[in-house]
Amino acid sequence: MTKKIIRRLIFVFILVLAVVFGIMHYDKTEYTRDNLEEYVCRMCELSDVPGFSAAIIDGDNEYYINYGEGIDENSRFELASTTKAFTALGILKLEKEGKLSIADPATKYIPWFKPTYKGNAYDITIENLLCHTSGIPVWTITTIPEGDATKEGELTKTIENIKDVKLSSKHGTHHEYATINYDVLGLIIEEVTGEKYEDYISEQILKPVGMENSLFRVSDEENDECVQGYKTMFFKAHPYDAPSYYGNTAAGYLVSSTSELMKWIEIWSREGYGTLDYSDVENETIESKSLDKENKSLGYVFSDIVGETLGHDVSKTDNYYAGWNIYDTYICHGGNNPNFSSQVIIARDRQQGVFALSSLAGSSATRIADGIYRILLGEKLKIGLQIDDNELIDFLSIELMLLFIYFTLLFWDKKSKASCVKRIAGSAVFIAALVILPVVFHYPLTMIYVWFPFTASIALGVSVILAVINILAGCTWVRQV
């Protein structure tokens, strides 16, 4: 009788939790330019975002919206995958200087890098890497070793881990977003320049743009240089110090603030909109907050690169090139690290853009930036049901954990031989799946702990314990029958 009451209470709690979760993430207010800041604050509240900052360009107006204790436009966040556009700009600058060509095979600079497709070695080009059409599979992110810049050769080791990887498609034929493509580009930059990747980008890209206070997270020491990162557990954001992946620096570990990223938006926004004529830099007849006028030639280089990037044929690359998703009216890119997220959206047909940084892993930066951009375009926006991707995983993990407990109690009293065999078989299959599936799909369980809400790891742990209990109980009862 007691078990029956407990089961019913758990089932009712599962249903009530789902209803309450939905209500807590719903907002029916209408938002426009007049209450844009209120929109940002409400979105942060709905997703329990600890810290957020957005740089916004709206015509001639440039401003910031910040949320969270101690957060302002000078607060630094990890950029995650929006770092890729900076790496691409470094590669394209080297091409302008005649030091490489994007048509070159990667093996020209990394001779031992020889991926295969159907047993044959293929020469992936630099352009393939820029477009994510190299054929390198998405799961290769799991091969990136944990370690910082204090360990010699971490970037090289990262690429060595996939030097003979089996491509999932023939290069140049299919777009598959694999973050490690840009780590290969980072190593090419080092081979061509003889400098460390982060030193080259800092001196040749960040400094001239005016982003001198931005840096790369190459070790745990840089954690003190940016705000605390978080990830979700049991409906709340919890501080999380993610491991260092120095080998992935070129793809996701630039650290910057919205005050400096405003300068980055200016370069792409004004060039895309056609309001900035770099040819006038020589005579200093224009004001550009983005360019180092002591190095006027760099102005020309950036102008050419930006224009060529926006004009690149992306019809066969799923609209992707050089760290940007490129569309007719806007360009964009998102980023997600284990404890940070980001999103940039810049119009091509008008002078508007937003770069959003969040100290919470998940989709918060993307969804808030998307809302800001739509409001800038003149939309009247209602949030409706707002659930961050990681919040959803957190919620489902809790619900599945409760369901596992519910069904364990439901079948606990069924002690016939057939019921025991089913209990043992089902639990054994579950445990076997946890062992086999990560191997088949190349995703180790450690990825869940690092990249997903803590609740997912807890749910797996509880499920395994319950499965073992079911197996032991089933074996005991079978012997008694």
Q: What is the 3-state secondary structure (H, E, C) of 122-160?
A: CCCEHHHHHHCCCCCCHHHHHHCCCECCCCCCHHHHHHH
Q: Apex CA 396: angle with CA 146 and CA 374, to 5°?
A: 85
Q: Could you report the per-residue pLDDT of 326-342, keeping only the tens digit for each?
A: 999 999 999 999 999 99
Residue 346 has pLDDT above 90, yes or no: yes
Sign of CA dihedral 167, 147, 74, 39: positive
CB 158 within 8 A of CB 145: yes
Here the tokens at position 332 are 């964009």
Q: Decide if pLDDT at 298 tops 70.
A: no
Q: Say which amino acid occupies 79.
A: L
Q: pLDDT digits over 214-225, tens only?
A: 999 866 666 677
With a cut of 80, say whether residue 265 has pLDDT above it.
yes
Q: What is the per-residue pLDDT for 222?
A: 61
Given a cut of 60, whether residue 275 has pLDDT beyond it is no
Residue whose C-alpha is closest to residue 234's, from 400, 446, 454: 454
What whole-number distance in Å separates Cα of residue 245 and Cα of residue 81?
Answer: 13
As given in the structure block, the two tokens for residue 337 are 């690290």
Least confident of 63-67, 106-110, 162-166, 280-284: 280-284
Confidence (pLDDT) at 136: 96
The rounded distance, in Å, linking the Cα atoms of 206 and 89 is 10
Tokens coding 390: 């990681």
Residue 219 is predicted with a pLDDT of 65
Partners of residue 231 on adjacent β-strands: 238
CA 219 to chain centre: 19
**Which strand (E) or helix (H) includes residue 333?**
strand 330-337
pLDDT in tens, 302-320: 778 898 899 999 998 899 9
pLDDT of res. 2:
78
Q: Average pLDDT in the 31-43 region?
A: 96
Q: Which of 159, 201, 195 is nearest to 178 (CA)?
A: 159
CB 368 within 8 A of CB 384: no
Mapped onto helix, strand or coil, the DSSP state of residue 56 is strand
Mean pLDDT (the chain) is: 89
Kindly report, residue by residue over 61-112, the tens digit of the pLDDT. Answer: 999 999 999 999 999 999 999 999 999 999 999 999 999 999 999 999 999 9
SS3 166: strand
pLDDT at 1: 57
Task: Supply the pLDDT for residue 148.
Answer: 75
What is the model's pLDDT at position 52? Answer: 98
E-assigned strand segments in 7-135: 26-31, 52-58, 61-67, 77-78, 116-117, 120-121
Most confident of 2-16, 310-324, 414-428: 310-324
H-helix or E-strand spanning residue 468: helix 454-480
pLDDT of 274 above 60? no
Average pLDDT estimate for 193-198 = 95
Element (H, E) at 262: helix 258-273
Confidence of residue 473 (pLDDT cuts 50, 70, 90): confident
Q: Are 376 and 33 in contact (CB under 8 A)?
A: yes
pLDDT the model gives residue 276: 40
What is the rounded distance in angstroms from the CA atom of residue 75 to the CA atom of residue 320? 29
| Long-range contacts at 470-478 (CB < 8 A, ≥ 24 apart) | 470/408, 470/423, 470/424, 470/426, 470/427, 471/423, 471/424, 471/427, 471/428, 473/412, 473/423, 474/420, 474/421, 474/423, 474/424, 474/427, 475/420, 475/424, 477/415, 477/420, 478/417, 478/420, 478/421, 478/424
443: phi then psi, degrees, rounded to nearest 5: -120, 100
Q: Report the C-alpha gap between 89 and 202 in whole angstroms.
A: 12
Residue 289 pLDDT greater than 90, yes or no: no
Tokens 């619900």 identify what position?
399
Give the closest residue to 317 by CA, choosing from 88, 158, 80. 88
Counting every residue written for the chain, the total comes to: 481
Sequence-ordered strand ranges (E) for 138-244: 215-216, 230-233, 236-239
Residue of 320, 357, 321, 312 lying closest to 337 (CA atoms): 357
The three-point CA angle 253-258-262 to 5° equals 110
CB 294 within 8 A of CB 387: no
pLDDT of residue 220: 65
Percentage above 90 pLDDT, the chain: 69
The predicted model gives 33-54 an average pLDDT of 96
Residue that has been written with the tokens 């401003």 in this structure: 63
Q: pLDDT band at 409, cuts 50/70/90? A: confident
Work out the average pLDDT over 190-210: 94
Measured CA to CA, the distance from residue 145 to residue 161 in angstroms comes to: 9
Question: Greater confidence, 171 or 367?
Answer: 367
Q: What is the mean pLDDT of residues 396-409?
A: 91
pLDDT digits (tens, 9 = 90+) for 103-147: 999 999 999 999 999 888 889 999 999 999 999 999 999 999 988
Q: Is the pLDDT of residue 381 over 60?
A: yes
